[in-house]
Amino acid sequence: MNTYHIKNLEEYFQAYRESVTEPETFWGTIAEKNFSWHKKWNRVLSWDFNTPEVKWFEGAQLNITENCIDRHLSERADKTALLFEPNDPKEPAQHISYQQLHGQVNKMANVLKGQGVKKGDRVCIYLPMIPELAFAVLACARIGAIHSVVFAGFSATALSTRINDCDATIVLTADGSFRGNKIIDLKAIVDVALTHCSQVSCVLVAERTGNAIAMVPGRDLAMAPLLQKASSECVATVMEAEDPLFILYTSGSTGKPKGMVHSCAGYMVYSAHTFKNIFQYEEDDVYWCTADIGWITGHSYILYGPLANGATTIMFEGVPSYPDFGRFWEIVEKHKVNQFYTAPTAIRALAKENIEFVEKYDLSSLKVLGTVGEPINEEAWHWYDNVIGKKKSPIVDTWWQTETGGIMISPIPYCTPTKPTFATLPFLGIQPALMDENGNEIEGNQVEGRLCIKHPWPSIARSIWGDHERYRQTYFSAYPNHYFTGDGASRDAVGYYRITGRVDDVIIVSGHNLGTAPIEDAINEHSKVAESAIVGFPHDIKGNALFGYVTLKKEASEKEQTILRKEINELIADKIGPIAKLEIITFVPGLPKTRSGKIMRRILRKIAHKEVSNLGDTSTLLNPDIVNQIREIVGV
Ligand code: WTA
């Protein structure tokens, strides 16, 4: 059996058994047969979840870009690697072949080298979804610099926090970005961010929108002339298996964002292997993931996973609603997309629109439909299955995290029978466990608990940049010897998993993870605010939206409250980004607190959900009366 490409359920079960009984043989064989190495490993795996420390393929040497680009040149030099679809459908798409990608990545690598970037240096990439973003990511990997991509929808404050956390000294950005009919002035955001980052000595600016920008002499350089002059040859830096490949920030339930560190070899093997199987990619397929490269989905399943398999991967600059709500389907028809991977929030938004936006287009090329980022509700699942897939394209509901690097629980299409809202079975090598509140594993089926993983997989994040203790605390302290995901899940009668959602203070809004603490911190900076608490509540399109309870230092009139709501949301947009704005802001005289002063979010959540029939025991509250007062204000 070729365990690199599983083709039926029986093969899956057989390979799964091998992968958990002999994980080292299993992954060693996959790594050896399907990738190119400068030097083989001495040991496949060493690990200890208590320290915690995980090492895969120790002693091996490689460069991930040789696996994603160079090794395809003998057979696929002219095959399209990246297919860039611009925001404006009237602008032609760009087909960038493997040969061209090779040249562009090397040029960018030489430009970075020219600015003094060396192996191990951190490079902050704040670019829109344009080809330069892909070139920049791969150029860092080419020379062993650690990329830290920051989603170009984040605010200046969020950007500066991320630049400073990993001490990046160079930032790559663009003059602006196109989002539907808007132009976003990215360079101006960078300029504001850099007033707080004195260590940044160089900003490379790609040209996209052509809008007027200010260039700081001695710091800012136009990217295009440098690329033009640079050589298209750059020898790949030989990396150790466990050298860091990138840092990617994700929200935590408390404090500042966590810079998850991924390393070279394990990440490469796992992102490539999952891509091949979960999308059943065949040589001439055209694959499209609609995520932004600023998120882990874009890292693993727009760039590294597809390119390691020699795939054609689409990179879309725009939004699903521009020029109209048929854009996704127009692109599917135009490029004859075979695998389509998106988020439930996009599916829900498009399902609300006129069906003509779908019916106008020929979607018969589709073979696999994927979802990621949040639980998909039954209605959206069926719409996706009926209207987009015409019931002939299996849906892969893929559960995973920034921390896991690759897909962990998912059907394998045409192998695993799907079940609406279920992510179904663990991928090869993944050993899930459901835990009860006392830290014991819940055995058997038809059970529900907190989702943990018992054994390392190759692409598990190795640390939080600069804070290994926080890494231990967050993921390995709740359940000894287990990686804790922060999610709840159930297991049905046949052993299929269904992810029920976060069990911590992270709220997923339109597929974006938002920690409540940083939003509350932003609100509390308002001079008139005394205290605040954020909870999520169900929203038709966004999945969840944010509900803010705010107490003021001094009572405010209706009119003042309206102004305050606006100011609070502006503050949040400024500190974090527009994605974190609150849907509802309610001013309350106080927050329900325990005697130890902890805010009882459970009660606030139930009020926001309008589920007040069973508020549980409120007698232990410091201020039990406040619950009725809040209910009255909210009207439930
Ligand atoms: C949630 C995105 C249900 C989950 C790749 C997880 C999901 C968090 C699914 C990670 C899914 C992701 N079903 N929930 N198929 N996929 N999630 O780090 O709560 O942006 O912990 O990684 O998204 O989000 P992140």
Interval 447-451 mean pLDDT: 97
Query: What's the predicted TM-score (pTM) here?
Result: 0.93
Q: Is 189 in the pocket of ligand 1 (CB under 6 A)?
A: no
The ligand 1 atom at the shortest distance from the C-alpha of residue 486 is 21
Same domain, 445 and 520: no
Q: Is residue 331 part of a domain?
A: no
Interval 488-508 mean pLDDT: 94
Give the span between the Cα atoms of 301 and 332, in whole angstroms: 17
Task: Tell me the three state secondary structure of residue 4.
Answer: coil
Q: Is 160 in the pocket of ligand 1 (CB under 6 A)?
A: no
Q: What's the structural domain count of the chain?
A: 2
Q: Which residue's CA is the nearest one to ligand 1's atom 11? A: 399
pLDDT reading at 252 higher than 80: no
Amino acid 599: pLDDT:
85
Q: Is residue 334 part of a domain?
A: no
Q: Which residue's CA is the nearest one to ligand 1's atom 3? A: 375
Q: Is residue 343 part of a domain?
A: no
Amino acid 222: pLDDT:
98
In CATH, what number is assigned to the domain containing residue 619?
Answer: 3.30.300.30
Range of the domain at 409: 9-319+398-489
Boundary of a domain, candidates 489, 524, 541: 489
Q: Is residue 119 part of a domain?
A: yes
Amino acid 505: pLDDT:
84
Interval 4-24 mean pLDDT: 98
Amino acid 253: pLDDT:
66
Q: What is the pLDDT of residues 371-385, one digit of tens each?
A: 999 999 999 999 999
pLDDT reading at 422 higher than 70: yes
3-state helix, strand, coil in the chain (%, to 5): 35, 25, 40
Tokens found for residue 500: 């029920």
Q: Is 373 in the pocket of ligand 1 (CB under 6 A)?
A: yes
The ligand 1 atom at the shortest distance from the C-alpha of residue 401 is 22
> What distance in angstroms lies between residue 59's CA and the mean position of ligand 1's atoms?
32
Work out the mean pLDDT of the chain and round it to a whole number.
96
Which stretch of DSSP H or E encloses residue 84? strand 80-85
> What distance in angstroms lies between residue 299's CA and the mean position of ligand 1's atoms?
15
pLDDT reading at 623 higher than 90: no
Nearest partner of 225 among 317, 111, 56, 369, judged by Cα: 111
Q: What is the pLDDT of residues 279-292, one digit of tens each?
A: 999 999 999 999 99
**Structural contact between residues 450 and 432, judged by C-beta atoms closer than 8 angstroms:** no
The ligand 1 atom at the shortest distance from the C-alpha of residue 376 is 13
Mutate which of 400, 497, 506 for ligand 1? The one with the most ligand atoms within 8 Å of its CB, which is 400
Q: Is residue 28 part of a domain?
A: yes
| Candidate from 49-53, 358-362, 622-626 with smallest mean pLDDT | 622-626
Same domain, 250 and 286: yes
Q: Which residue's CA is the nearest one to ligand 1's atom 8? A: 401
Interval 65-69 mean pLDDT: 98
DSSP class of residue 236 equals P
Same domain, 576 and 429: no
Amino acid 617: pLDDT:
74
Q: Is 502 in the pocket of ligand 1 (CB under 6 A)?
A: yes
In CATH, what number is assigned to the domain containing residue 149?
Answer: 3.40.50.12780
Q: What is the pLDDT of residues 202-217, one digit of tens each?
A: 999 999 999 999 999 9
> What distance in angstroms lies between residue 227's CA and the mean position of ligand 1's atoms?
37
Q: Is 176 in the pocket of ligand 1 (CB under 6 A)?
A: no
Same domain, 160 and 33: yes
Same domain, 539 and 574: yes
Amino acid 620: pLDDT:
72
Q: What is the pLDDT of residues 114-145, one digit of tens each?
A: 999 999 999 999 999 999 999 999 999 999 99
pLDDT reading at 326 higher than 80: yes
Task: Tell me the three state secondary structure of residue 417.
Answer: coil
- Do the strands 146-149 and 122-125 form a parallel or antiparallel pair, or are they unpaired? parallel
